[in-house]
Copies of this chain bind each other. A is one copy, B any other.
Amino acid sequence: MDHYDGIANLMFEMGNLKRIKRTGWWIAGIKDPESIAEYSHRVSLLGTILAALEGADPARTCLLGTLHDIPETRIGDIPHIGRAYLSAKSAESIAADQVADCPDEVNYTIKDAIDEFEAASTSEAKCAKDADKLECLIQAVEYQKTGATTVGPWIDNSLKALKTDSAHHIAHAVINGESLAWQQSRSKE
């Protein structure tokens, strides 16, 4: 297979991230929750912002956020409770399979980012990991504001997992904050 065919196949595979749902929300009773792609997009935005606040590299953090869940096209989004029943190969080894038919420079770029995210030792990886948790908290608050009474555990557990000061400050502003619809009320003034 030609290298461009390898990239085309990888992109068709990544298209699944638009369809694969975040399974935790099903447990909370949300019938049609966000996709992995939708989730990853705001993780990237949050990572960018956390990096800017924490003195890390925003672009690198954005890249880690964009790529960190790509192995889920192969294994799905395993719910928390599933970890008691499943053991998975490492994200690094799954990503290596995913990019195996791509040219070297693509292959390297993607694997290197997955490795950095998983190792969680750079400032950028720490910000991306916090973005991953903070996104879950914000989405839970949004589901709560539209009626769900079931999302408390997601808010509590995400909050406990945050490491950076900036993520803590944003989390508290989200929890205590204005309505989602602040734009609407303000734009009517």
- Residue in contact with A174 in the complex, picked from B11, B59, B145, B170, CB distance below 8 Å: B11
Give the size range of A's interface with the partner.
35 or more
User: CB within 8 Å of B: which of A51-75?
Assistant: 52-53, 57-60, 62-63, 66-67, 70-71, 74-75
| Interface residues of chain A: helix, strand, loop or mixed (majority) | helix
A35 within 8 A of B: yes
A121 within 8 A of B: no
Instruction: Give Cα A66 to B31, complex, Å.
Output: 21
Query: Contacts A19-B26, A150-B146, A181-B153 known; A85 to B79 CB distance under 8 Å?
Result: no
18 new A-B contacts, CB < 8 A, other than A28-B181, A40-B41, are A5-B173, A8-B178, A9-B177, A14-B45, A15-B42, A15-B142, A18-B34, A19-B26, A27-B181, A29-B181, A44-B62, A52-B106, A76-B78, A79-B184, A81-B183, A145-B149, A147-B148, A150-B179
